[in-house]
Amino acid sequence: MVKAIWDEFARRHLRSAGDKPLHLGAFDAATVTVYVEAVAPGDLLPDMAIFLKTGIHVQAPLEATYETTWAVFPTALKGLLGNP
């Protein structure tokens, strides 16, 4: 989805780096600005901005949030997802 939005508004196309094929995006819709982080499977997730209004954002600790959620995720359901 990041690429689709980027391609709609950016003057240049978003291209994947060979070793970092995935993109995370933070969008400031008021200024039509996107902040992109390239990641690969197995990378630690970076903190990303969540824009509350023009020029005001909070940092979302993606890796810490994922780890906390996974720690309390039901074991029975973890088995359905394989071994992430």
Local structure of 72: helix, strand or coil: helix
* Residue 13: pLDDT over 70: no
Q: Which of 28-42, 47-61, 67-81 has the lowest mean pLDDT?
A: 28-42
Separation between Cα atoms, residue 21 and residue 30, nearest integer Å: 28
At residue 6, the pLDDT reads: 60
Q: Please count the structural domains in the chain.
A: 1
Phi, psi torsion values for 41, nearest 5 degrees: -55, 135
The HSE-up count of residue 4 (CA atoms within 13 Å, CB side) is: 1
pLDDT confidence of 72, banded at 50, 70, 90? very high
Tell me the β-bridge partners of 53.
56
Show the domain range for 17: 2-81
Q: What pLDDT is attached to residue 23?
A: 86
Is residue 49 helix, strand or coil? strand
pTM: 0.71
